[in-house]
Amino acid sequence: MDKADIALAVSLVAATFTGWQAYSGHISASAARTALRRKDPTFEISVRSDRPDWSYITIIARNHEPVSININKIAYRGRGVTFINAEDLEENTSLGRCAAIEPSLALSRREISISRIIGAAGDQATRSSAPHVPRPTVHLYLHAHGKLNQERIVIDWSWADGTRR
């Protein structure tokens, strides 16, 4: 082997290591991007049928990120199901709220607008006990009319800081 062959072998080994470094840098950057992505909130939906054709829906929304979330609307993907926000059926009295109004089809809509805020989680979570302060967990209560499949309930939400999902 002369000097030219040794130089060619050294440059081939250097090119191989450079290629490996570029590939491993790409893999670690991809893993870092995945780790930095925000976690979506979780929605636990439970359905209880008390009356014929009417269901009572409880949605527990949990935020896992240090940024608040706005819940904009709840809809049903499909036909034959309409919703009523349970808070709309409560009557305000001098003693507080009481569920005095029965759900009716005249009040129900296929899509209902809800303006609720789920507070930040983690270190940003509030430790206040004031009722007006957003919490990282929110309970939503709805009445639904029709044959309900809970997998078809669509909850429209957005990040409070305007970041795209």
Tokens of 109: 């809509």
Tally of CB atoms within 10 A around 79 = 8
pLDDT digits (tens, 9 = 90+) for 105-140: 777 788 888 888 888 886 656 666 666 666 788 889
Report whether 57 contacts 43 (CB < 8 A). Answer: no
Tally of CB atoms within 10 A around 136 = 21
pLDDT digits (tens, 9 = 90+) for 18-55: 999 988 888 888 888 777 777 889 999 999 887 788 88
* Dihedral over Cα of 105, 110, 116, 122: its sign: positive
DSSP SS3 for 153: strand
From the centroid of its chain, how far is CA 40?
5
For the cut 90, the answer to whether the pLDDT of residue 103 exceeds it is: no
